[in-house]
A and B are shown apart, each in its own frame.
Chain A
Amino acid sequence: MKRQWNSLLWVGFVVAVAGLFSYGFFVRFPITRDFPWANLLLFGIGGALLIVGLFRAFGRSQLYCGKIFGSILTAIALFLFGLFSYEIFYVLRQVPLSAHAPRLGEKAPDFMLLDQNEQPVGLGDLLSGSRAVVMIFYRGFW
């Protein structure tokens, strides 16, 4: 009897790959950037499909193929999930503690920096006539 194509393995693999590469899309929205639940959901769906596909390949091997390529696809998907988790939950959190950063209620130190026109601008200049100043230290290099 000819065995059936084990489509769940391929669908699961594609969904798991989408879980990795869709981060570039989901990172545009704060709700999916602050915690990557959408990507984790895709990885979860992909993993579930791969597991079901593997059960079919090994448990009903007379009906379904996919023992070898199913195992390979699952291993690749696991590697991609590990890579994603390492980047998101470890690399992106390597931020210094900044124990000496100004705290709430402290007086901000004065500073002088050059603006886009190479003109010196100080904190006092920014605060003169203003209710407040928002200082944003954006990461300087990606």
Chain B
Amino acid sequence: MCCIAGAGPKGADIARPAEFLIDSSRIVRWVKLTENIAVRARPEQVLTALNQIEPAGR
């Protein structure tokens, strides 16, 4: 599903870079599937997404 085939040691599949924010009811509230291995979610992006679900969690 989220693997890069054969890119790991001894040809093993490895995880593809991805970030998910899951709330307390296990609903996916934010997803970042990068299209570039060098580009990842920044901490402030994660915090912004977290702050957006804060009212619902209270």
Contact = CB atoms under 8 A, between A and B. Distances in A.
Interface of A: 27, 30, 33-34, 88, 92-96, 98, 100-108, 110, 123, 127, 130-141
A103 B29 CA distance: 9
B19 A96 contact: no
B24 A98 contact: no
A98 B1 contact: yes
Contact of B27 (A33, A92, A105, A130): A105
B29 A137 contact: no
Interface residues of B, number: 39
A96 B22 CA distance: 22
Contacts of A132: 21-24, 29, 50, 53, 57
B14 A141 contact: yes
A138 B21 CA distance: 14
Given A93-B35, A98-B1, A137 B18 contact: yes
Across the A-B interface, give the 7 residue pairs with the lowest CB-CB distance, nearest first. Answer: A140-B14, A131-B57, A137-B15, A137-B18, A141-B8, A135-B20, A108-B22
Given A92-B38, A131-B23, A132-B23, A102 B28 contact: yes
Given A104-B31, A134-B50, A141 B9 contact: yes
